[in-house]
Structure 1
């Protein structure tokens, strides 16, 4: 497994991030533990979760599964760079309840303590804001973060789903306060969806923020969905079902699969390998439901995509180009 530094930190993380959102809803606890063991064996040390993972009335279940895995010992916690998130409503009745969601200082304090309890650890390596909070000023957010860092409950802070201007705003205010600021940003980014290249990724690079793409296979659309349909696999591949509704989209995906067949590559592995070639990317989040899916993702880290293939991928899925030219009429 290849390693890199997370943004402008000294933290060494694997080029793949183990996403855990399927743990609980789709993968039971025993199989989730098997996947985490396999991830460590493969050299993956960066695990990502969120306090709301588990869905519905089971929010927090995913963190609890990870915590139970840590409790098995074997230096599991020491080997993992652990990232979780705060923002979503954690009210038990699933109805919005004041101060049980978003990024107020009060909710951040409550959410950290609850996550630590479920995760059965005394610190979180990367604590991430799951969404922007339009109601809470960054001065308040950073003040709450400073306290948690001083208490040793969190080490670094990241963001998720932030636009470029919010990355800039957050880090400018952090700089004025004399604190480190954001070190990572999780954003939707893959071959099919490249709008992050316009402002999010340039902003992240400018501020030394590592990019951690989520949905690297665009909900399954880049994972060989058409081939699987022909072979009699599942017809709906996650978000791929909705994303494949138009004939132009289907034509693009067919051209993509045909190109990779020509080069003898698996579509899902090539899509991950492409992300690893992109400037500013720390590592894509993979969310395996099975150990076999994890093995496929690991193989992607060893792929070398030649210039002819990269040019072909750009032709099928052209990026928007840099800003402000990308906004030109």
Structure 2
């Protein structure tokens, strides 16, 4: 192999590749413009994706992140006239990738709660050395009333049930999510419902977005648009909850062996720069469970996997001692 493959959506820090496998969305959530401008579903052939992953691994990429406008709809357009036992699903693609040779792991970018299927979880359980035990499941709100106004496809309890199903099959999986605060008409009680569901789901990270109206979407024309200060207050409150949940999740990982992709030296802090001979700054890596890890290693280990024993969390990162180089 001599050429870096084309067709990928981008690279991250030269050790992680983002491979777009699908395009288009047809769900029409009330806050999103994408289904109006990119409604046509289009999935890349599995064999093309497998070839691309192999070439990326040959070029030293150790993590492949599968992306798409609606990743969970991978293959859906192929299934419309096919018998159900012939359908292609995201789980089929992930299994085929996990069966490829080489020292690498695969991570999914973002899926919907209804797409956290038993089949997908089975693949994750069958290939723990290749498929990261981490799912980013987009929630947006934990209030059934807000979810209806958003035109989402499930209620809060169904979302929690899918999270629980994942936890039943996998050992301490990381579950991350997106939440929109201050959606039109969101009451204090509805926001409190969202906070409660976040706590029940036990997210390790929450991407928080104050509602921003997109011209041309139904949500932009809804009554009861909330003032900026309310959205800011709720963002701060949820951010505090996120910190508590993150720290609680990281505490469950202490003493556990995690596979970490070493990515870069940590920037030295001001206190470490003082003096003639400041100590060397440790390195930063990302664990299979999406927790950032601060660890002592060498420049030669950047871009490689190491197995570490997770220690205490400090400043939003796990501390660790290297045990050994990871073997695929």
TM-score, normalisation: structure 1: 0.40
Larger radius of gyration: 2
Asked which structure has the greater RCO (Cα within 8 Å, sep 6+), the reply is: 1
More helix by share: 1
More strand by share: 2
| Structure 2 length-normalised TM | 0.40
